[in-house]
Amino acid sequence: MRHFDEIFAIAAKRHGGLDALNGKLSKPTSVAELAKMPDDRWLSIITKTVFQAGFNWKVIENKWDGFETAFDGFDVGRCAFMDDEKFDALIQDTRIVRNGTKIAAVRDNAAFLLELRDEGGAGRVLGGWPSEDYVGLLAMLAKRGSRLGGASAQYAMRFAGRDSFILSQDVTARLIAEGVIDKSPTSKKAMAAVQAAFNTWMEQSGRSLTEISRVLAMSL
């Protein structure tokens, strides 16, 4: 596995030099700011990634104002206690994408966020989870959330602004090239190897998971 400086140099060569590459990198939102993010915004972001999965992202984006209205601004209490009448109305609501299983996921994820209030709140739990155990956060989201396995949780955390990596095709290819994994990681062992590699690169560079993930993607 190369030192991060070597991978950064490869990416910089492909993207106009060191200054140009640094200009394309953004830092994650601070833990303090994430702790202040209201539950309705976490639910909104999570819902958007759930609906985007396997669908045209632009369609979801164009309809998003309608989603916000239809789901009562993603008020966590209202969504968590959605009754059959509300659910049936949403199934017929043309302001949103009318997918029953994903509508049900909104209710389930709202209930999950309510549970997190007893653990300090979504902002503190999701935003403050240690970056050195990011795969642990992904595993928790897959287990306790609804339709948050695979890439959905990764994108939700990135869109929320928390420190994160996304195992895109390019990032995965770089991890394979560095001998970290031999194929797209799906097992606990493979995900642990990915986390260990990112932890090493964080120590070497002083950079965040978010920045390292972007550099890996741009190194190909």
Does 107 reside within a domain? yes
Does 46 reside within a domain? yes
Two structure tokens written together for 155:
């994108």
Does 50 reside within a domain? yes
Q: In Å, what is the CA distance from 147 to each residue of 65, 92, 152, 156?
A: 22, 22, 7, 11
Q: Which residues constitute the domain of residue 104?
A: 32-129
- Given a cut of 90, whether residue 60 has pLDDT beyond it is yes
Does 151 reside within a domain? no
DSSP class of residue 3? -
Does 77 reside within a domain? yes
> For residue 143, how many other CB atoms are within 10 A of its CB?
9
pLDDT at 80: 98
Please state, rounded to an integer, the average pLDDT across all residues of the chain.
97
Does 175 reside within a domain? no
Two structure tokens written together for 195:
């986390």
Please name the residues in contact with 143: beta carbons below 8 A apart, sequence gap of 6 or more: none
Which CATH number covers residue 102?
Answer: 1.10.340.30
Does 212 reside within a domain? no
pLDDT at 39: 98
pLDDT at 150: 85
Task: Please state, in angstroms and rounded to a whole number, the distance separating the CA atoms of residues 51 and 7.
Answer: 34
Give residue for tokens 């990011």: 134
pTM of the full structure: 0.96
User: pLDDT tens digits, residue range 34-50?
Assistant: 999 999 999 999 999 99
Does 189 reside within a domain? no
